[in-house]
Amino acid sequence: MMIKPIGANGQVTLGTKYAGQYVAIEEMEPGVWILKLGDFIPRSERWLHEPAFAAELDEALEWASTHAREEMNPDELERRMRDGDNRSSGPQ
């Protein structure tokens, strides 16, 4: 257990070994906090970690690992997308 003073600016210093790291602070009740070190996902990237999308991403990565890369004219790709032609394309 560490005992640290809360400074006049409301901050507590944990030490330089924690400098630059993020902590989650959970207030259990007034005056009782739990601090956890961690890596946090920016709000703009959270959708990438939702279970439904993660499963689709895993499926797409698996498909990509078993299919050769295909060079394609961008106009042809646009035509295929517009016409719903999914030949040689990845998971839908």
Closest CA to 23 of 31, 5, 11: 11
Residue in the block written with tokens 């070190």: 37
pLDDT for the residue 85 = 74
Q: Which amino acid is at 36?
A: K
For the chain, the domains span 43-67
Q: 44 φ, ψ to 5°?
A: -70, -10
Closest CA to 90 of 62, 60, 65: 60
Determine the Cα–Cα distance for residues 63 and 66; give it in Å rounded to an integer.
Answer: 5
Provide block-wise average pLDDT over 10 residues at a time, the chain (92 residues): 92 92 93 91 87 88 90 88 71 50
